[in-house]
């Protein structure tokens, strides 16, 4: 399940949030061409506004994605009709694959902090099943954020669990991923109280 309050936030704010995310300058997309071989079939998990799928398509990748928020998916399809058959509703914990094809690469940007400790391990095992052997994974996780309360909630009530990148590195290694690279970055939306770590793995 997506956390209820987090789900409500994305449902209520889909239009506004999507427009905001579409304004992000670079984030993980800055590294697509460097890390993902050209022409690859790529899956974007928790694709939100659809911004990164559109960038992938513009770079010549065969991009697909899913997100559990029907409101986010329809806002993305309205903004970018090219996503029509490429963007589905689904959550990362789903045991039933949202797509029954395998991918050369997976990206998952700013999603894991919304998952409980119970769900992250399942999420990793699901990602593993989507990626071909030798495929790349780009994972973006928060490094710092100064408005998270003691219950791991943001002021807008979304679940936001700060875990150190090492926690994710160890977890993906446990599932057989080889850790390649960590890139620490300022927030692509220009917020000074937030920074991110991009972790690159190969399956
Ligand atoms: C901060 S947004 C990031 C969106 C996009 N990846 C980006 O980088 O702009 C978080 C997204 O994660 C999605 N999400 C939340 N829980 C999820 C889950 N269990 N499985 C997949 N996506 C989830 C939300 O619906 C939302 O679109």
Å from CA of 66 to ligand 1 middle: 9
Query: Is there an atom of ligand 1 within 6 Å of 47 CB?
Result: yes
Predicted confidence (pLDDT) per residue in 106-147, tens digit: 999 999 999 999 999 999 999 999 999 999 999 999 999 999
The answer to pTM > 0.85 is yes
- HSE-CB of 95 using CA atoms within 13 angstroms: 0
Q: Which three-class secondary structure state does DSSP give residue 26?
A: coil
Over residues 75-88, the pLDDT tens digits come to 999 999 999 999 99
Taking CA atoms only, the protein residue closest to ligand 1 atom 1 is 110
Structure tokens at 89: 């509703």
183 CA from centroid of ligand 1 (Å): 20
Low-confidence ranges of the chain (pLDDT < 50): none
Closest residue to atom 13 of ligand 1, CA basis: 46
| Structure-block tokens of residue 152 | 């791991």
């Amino acid at each position: 399940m997506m956390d209820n309050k987090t789900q409500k936030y994305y449902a209520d704010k889909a239009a506004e949030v999507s427009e905001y995310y579409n304004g992000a300058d670079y984030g993980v997309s800055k590294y697509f061409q460097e890390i993902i071989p050209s022409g690859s079939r790529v899956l974007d998990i928790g694709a939100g506004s659809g911004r990164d799928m559109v960038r992938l398509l513009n770079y010549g990748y065969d991009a697909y994605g899913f997100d559990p928020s029907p409101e986010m998916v329809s806002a993305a399809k309205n903004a970018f009709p090219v996503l029509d058959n490429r963007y589905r509703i689904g959550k990362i914990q789903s045991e039933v694959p949202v797509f029954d094809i395998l991918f050369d690469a997976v990206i998952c940007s700013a999603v894991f902090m919304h998952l409980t400790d119970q769900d992250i391990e399942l999420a990793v095992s699901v990602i593993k099943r989507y990626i071909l052997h030798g495929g790349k994974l780009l994972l973006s996780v928060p490094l710092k954020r100064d408005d998270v309360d003691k219950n791991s909630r943001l002021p807008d009530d979304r679940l936001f669990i700060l875990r150190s990148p090492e926690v994710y590195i160890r977890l993906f290694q446990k599932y057989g991923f080889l850790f390649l690279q960590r890139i620490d970055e300022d927030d692509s939306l220009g917020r000074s109280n937030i920074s991110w770590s991009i972790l690159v793995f190969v399956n």
